[in-house]
A = this chain, B = another copy of it.
Amino acid sequence: MSVYKKITNIAAESRFMESMKNKELIEEVANKLNWTAQDTAEMLSAFNSILGSKLIDNDSIYLSGFGQFEIKKKTERISVNPANGKRYLVPPKLVPVFKPGTTIKTKLKELSDNE
């Protein structure tokens, strides 16, 4: 099998996994709220697009009981190419950062302690 074929397979598989995950989430929310999957899917897609546009407007987002999103600026830095050892400049970059809320942090701590 050609490398190209392998890559396209992996990409197709990950898109499939993503859509399965998304379907699962829609079903769970629909069950919890007693809605149709169709209404829930429409709501989620509107919600996701609002989250995206607020983030891109550099507006922090707070989902109570879950966590907070912010945009942080990663400054310019010098890195080394491991292949040839040459140093190069990595330009500044805007990255979204997720800070979990206290509820999630506490539960994850309990999980780590019990491992």
Which residues of A are interface residues toward B (Cβ below 8 A)? 18-19, 21-22, 25, 28-29, 32-33, 42-52, 54-56, 60-69, 71, 91-98, 100-101, 103-104, 107-109, 111-112, 115
Task: With A92-B115, A103-B52 as known contacts, state yes or no: A25 contacts B108, CB within 8 Å.
Answer: no
Report how many copies the assembly holds: 2
With a cutoff of 8 Å between Cβ atoms, the chain B residues found around residue A103 in the complex are 52
Query: Taking the nearest CB of chain B, how far is it from the CB of A61, in angstroms?
Result: 6
Q: Which of B46, B65, B94 contacts A111 (CB 8 A)?
A: B94
B32 touching A50 by the CB < 8 A rule?
Answer: yes
The CA-CA distance from A55 to B21 in the complex, in Å, is 13
A96 touching B98 by the CB < 8 A rule?
Answer: yes
